[in-house]
Structure 1
Amino acid sequence: MNIHKNGHISTRHAYLNPLKLIEALLQQEKNWLNAIPRLRAIILLALTQGLASLNLAALGTVAPALESSMHIGNIGYGLLSTASILTGAAAALPVGILGDRQRRVPLLIKLSILWAIAMLLSGISPSYYWFLLTQMLAGAAGVSVGPVIASLSGDLFPPSWRGRAFGLIVGGELLGAGIGMILAGTVNTLSNWRTVFFVLAIMAILLAYLLWKGMREPQRNNMEKLALELTQKNPTRQTHAQVTTNRRYLLEDIRKKSIQPVSKRILQEDPTQWHWFRAAKTILSIPSNVVLISASSAGYFYFTGLLAFGILYLTQRFHINTMAASSLFVGAGLGGIGGVIASGWIADWLLRKGLITARVWVTGIAFLLTIPFFLLALNTNNQVLEFIWLFWGAAALGATNPTLDAARLDIMHSRLWGRAEGIRISLRYILEAAAPFAFGWVSTHFSESYCQLQHCGNGYGLRITFGLFTILLLVATILMLSAVFTYPRDVATALFSHNR
């Protein structure tokens, strides 16, 4: 760095100091956390978001004990997760309607209590079929919180904040999976698999109490205010300081770049009381929404397979017990939490720089990076290297989630958020429900007897299965990058629809 005589600093020959960069990022994040609205709401929504993943992760951790106790194989165990997810997919549709028409915080409390009851009944299950039914109830409650959380988040956070906010909320889903694995592994080792579900029931009751005491219902008029500003012919003048402090990045980018809405898709009335089929037709007529749903489904299909069989794979692969495998898997999963937080921050930063398609680009690149990381992890015999590659693979896969969630709200009328998320979750989980069964079925067709190499080792079937299904991540990458061409006009259309 050169300092001239007049005191000015020239950075032409300056080198980037990584430590300075990290320090700047941490300071920026600290300033944001100090200024963030409704931090308590983010924490509570993050905890609630983790219910479905908490259950799936607990199932994955106690898989060996369940298979032994109930005399089932990989296919029977996979059916448990599949049935739970399918029930949740069906329940998300009516819950999405309620999320658009009723107070959402009481709805979240009821769903949390229902999930607690399902966990309690799972713990006392006398047979496999009883346990299957209780898992279906758990899926109905845990999965269907998604539409309610999406609707609440859209009203709590403006577009320029949503990437970071969703980063923390979606982090709750991964954190729930991590807590579930550690807790279930520890309790299962000290006691048995039934006690695991009793403990989860107690945690859900505590969450319902915290929602009741600490969560307030927001108003549903934030997007109407944005739309009013966008359509004003003579917007109110602001001072430079006001512009710097209060700038609405997504709104001003649309106005500055003269992005035109799709006139035939601008809504002419409030869709709150629309019949479900009319709402569904409108929701699925948005090109970017169809692309985002498809990409999300592909990513979550792979994620569900990892949750369902990751622990079992590690125990077979490295001959370690369930508790050790849980710790290893959760340690790698911490990369996912870092990924969701980092991607939301990066996408919002790019949005502030004027890149209106920032969320689409960040998601597409994250999907692309996931593929080599997981393939490298699956093809090493070194436990340390496998952990490192799994860590970065989890970070890349986790990075796709908050930007996808924020992008979906950007392109949808706010009074359709609940139903849109319900439809997305249903379509996603109908496909995703097949993941545990598909992973289990494919793994049984690749036993060690098929491999003639000495380094195959245990866990060969699951290793081949995880590798084959990375093709879905490539499909998600291609879909996301295609959304670059439709996303800006869909955002403008959603904003203009609020001012009718």
Structure 2
Amino acid sequence: MTDAAVPMPAAPWGRLRALAVLALAMLAGMVARTLLSPVQELAKADMGLSDNQVGLIQGMALALPVAALAVPIGRLVDRTRRVTLLLALSALWIAGTVLSGLAWGFGSLFVGRMLVGLGAAGAVPAILSLTADLSTPERRGRAVMVMVIGQAAGMAAAFAGGGALVGTLTPGVGQAGWLGLTAWRATMLLVALLMLVPTALLLWLPEPTRQGSAADTVPDVSPKLAPALAELWRLRRLVAPLMAGMITVNMGDAAATVWAVPVLTRSFGLQPADFSGWMGVLLGLSGIGGTVLGGLAADWGHRRDARGGILWGALLGAALSVPAALFALAPGVPVFALLLALLMVAGAIVAVGVASAMTLLVPNHLRGLCLGLMSALGVFISLGLAPSVVSLLAQGLGGEEHLPAALALEGALASLAGVSTFWRAMRVARSEGA
């Protein structure tokens, strides 16, 4: 690991190798964030938790530290060595995974998930900023696509690998668990050990020189926070609807990630060993497929219209999310799986479209701050509140048995809001680019 920044590698292989390391880091962070989901019904029973407590652990615990520290992290992305920052954040999500596996109650599990949330979400602006400097503007959509593929693969690996490990580590009658631990706890600790590998690879990743963009007037200069916020405020007509659209669509996706497993268990009587394999494949393929579509749509839109066209993919993804959010009300597992896959495809399209637009339309010296703000607001609202909104809504409808209806209602309404805000962002981008 070198101390000085180096120019973007001229050889395609050098760029691809660096992007692959970043994608693997993105994968590891998503594994850490998602790993509790396939085993959460086992953890809930083992620790005597309620649905509302699970909603807090899977939502607010991940969101609070990010909401508090995402802006400082974004500033560090703009002002410091990003690879070193990424190493520190990866150490946080590994430590949080270990603490989650050793948790002795609601409080300790909450703290463990806070560490995971800060590390995984805080790494996103660093990875995207590095990605932007390892790619040309014409290929930026596809470069961001690689990072989102890493997220999709991480979610798939958490479900497929986590479910498989739980089945393997479940002791037989009269047998003790691995190291005396229950299967879900042993799974968390083994995965934390495996995540040391992608962290070690970051030690050999060079720091690329920061590249300017068409929107930059002062390249490679990161102003102090107050002037930077003032400059970003002047871009609010574009940035605000972009953030709002990403947040609202993510509300449906985040709630689905948390509550899909309880719906499968309670409505269809399935256990992790029954669904983890096909669900991991489903999430992986749909996430990767949606990411590819999102990257292609972003680059296609940018070629047609240098400003607002890059958002066509995000608008399409938000529209597809509306019917897909009804997966929880499906009459059977096949329809459930089909609609959930569509929701993941749509969410990936949106993620690539918004990230590509941010890296293209926002000046380089504000990029980390902008992405940090979006992470803070997005994680707090979409990830922090959405799971609890669903559990409280189910309670208001009559109890935990109304979880599927609450999940569908929250997802559909949030996606409709995303359609509206992305349409507004596209109009603003076109008018300001004219």
TM-score normalised by structure 2 residue count: 0.87
1:351 to 293, 296, 302: 302
Verify: 1:187 aligned to 2:165, yes or no.
yes
CA displacement, residues 300-357 of structure 1 (integer Å, 9 cap, x when unaligned): 1111111111111111221111222323432332212201111211321343345642
**Does the C-alpha gap of structure 1 residues 490 and 423 become closer, same or farther in structure 2, counting only changes over 3 Å?**
farther
**Aligned partners of 1:39 and 1:347: how far apart in 2?**
20
CA displacement, residues 395-417 of structure 1 (integer Å, 9 cap, x when unaligned): 12221111110101112111121
Give the letter for the 1:48 counterpart.
A
Which residue in 2 is equivalent to 1:71? 48
1:370 to 315, 318, 321: 321
Verify: 1:426 aligned to 2:367, yes or no.
no
2:408 to 451, 467, 470: 467
1:136 to 99, 111, 114: 114
Percent of residue pairs bearing the same amino acid type: 23
**Does the C-alpha gap of structure 1 residues 203 and 491 become closer, same or farther in structure 2, counting only changes over 3 Å?**
farther
- Unmatched tracts of structure 1, length 5 or more: 1-33, 228-265, 449-458, 493-500
**Aligned partners of 1:40 and 1:367: how far apart in 2?**
32
8 Å CA contact 2:298, 2:356 repeated in 1: no
Which residue in 2 is equivalent to 1:479? 421
**Does the C-alpha gap of structure 1 residues 68 and 490 become closer, same or farther in structure 2, counting only changes over 3 Å?**
same
**Does the C-alpha gap of structure 1 residues 127 and 393 become closer, same or farther in structure 2, counting only changes over 3 Å?**
closer
Verify: 1:387 aligned to 2:337, yes or no.
yes
Alpha-carbon shift at residue 425 of structure 1 (Å): 0.7
Which structure has the larger Rg? Answer: 1
Secondary structure, counterpart of 2:331 in structure 1: coil
Count of residue pairs brought into register by the alignment: 406
Give the letter for the 1:151 counterpart.
S
**Aligned partners of 1:327 and 1:306: how far apart in 2?**
18
Secondary structure, counterpart of 1:126 in structure 2: coil
**Aligned partners of 1:314 and 1:431: how far apart in 2?**
25
Alpha-carbon shift at residue 383 of structure 1 (Å): 2.2
8 Å CA contact 1:410, 1:491 repeated in 2: no
Q: CA RMSD in A?
A: 2.3
**Does the C-alpha gap of structure 1 residues 145 and 295 become closer, same or farther in structure 2, counting only changes over 3 Å?**
same
8 Å CA contact 2:62, 2:379 repeated in 1: no
Give the letter for the 1:476 counterpart.
G
CA displacement, residues 69-119 of structure 1 (integer Å, 9 cap, x when unaligned): 111111111111211222122222211111111111121112112221222
**Aligned partners of 2:105 and 2:291: how far apart in 1?**
38
CA displacement, residues 181-217 of structure 1 (integer Å, 9 cap, x when unaligned): 112212222321111221221122111111112x221
**Does the C-alpha gap of structure 1 residues 354 and 142 become closer, same or farther in structure 2, counting only changes over 3 Å?**
closer
**Aligned partners of 1:58 and 1:197: how far apart in 2?**
7
Which residue in 2 is equivalent to 1:53? 30
**Aligned partners of 1:94 and 1:383: how far apart in 2?**
43
Give the letter for the 2:302 counterpart.
L
Give the letter for the 2:33 counterpart.
L
**Aligned partners of 1:271 and 1:209: how far apart in 2?**
28
**Does the C-alpha gap of structure 1 residues 411 and 80 become closer, same or farther in structure 2, counting only changes over 3 Å?**
same
Which residue in 2 is equivalent to 1:319? 269
Alpha-carbon shift at residue 150 of structure 1 (Å): 2.1
2:356 to 406, 410, 413: 406
8 Å CA contact 1:328, 1:387 repeated in 2: no
2:198 to 207, 211, 216: 207
Give the letter for the 1:75 counterpart.
N
Which residue in 2 is equivalent to 1:95? 73
8 Å CA contact 1:56, 1:307 repeated in 2: no
More helix by share: 2
TM-score normalised by structure 1 residue count: 0.76
CA displacement, residues 44-77 of structure 1 (integer Å, 9 cap, x when unaligned): 2222223443233211111111111111111111
CA displacement, residues 213-247 of structure 1 (integer Å, 9 cap, x when unaligned): 2x221111343xx57xxxxxxxxxxxxxxxxxxxx
- Unmatched tracts of structure 2, length 5 or more: 1-10, 170-182
Alpha-carbon shift at residue 270 of structure 1 (Å): 6.3
**Aligned partners of 2:13 and 2:339: how far apart in 1?**
33
8 Å CA contact 2:61, 2:113 repeated in 1: yes
The answer to which of 280-289 and 309-318 deviates more is: 280-289
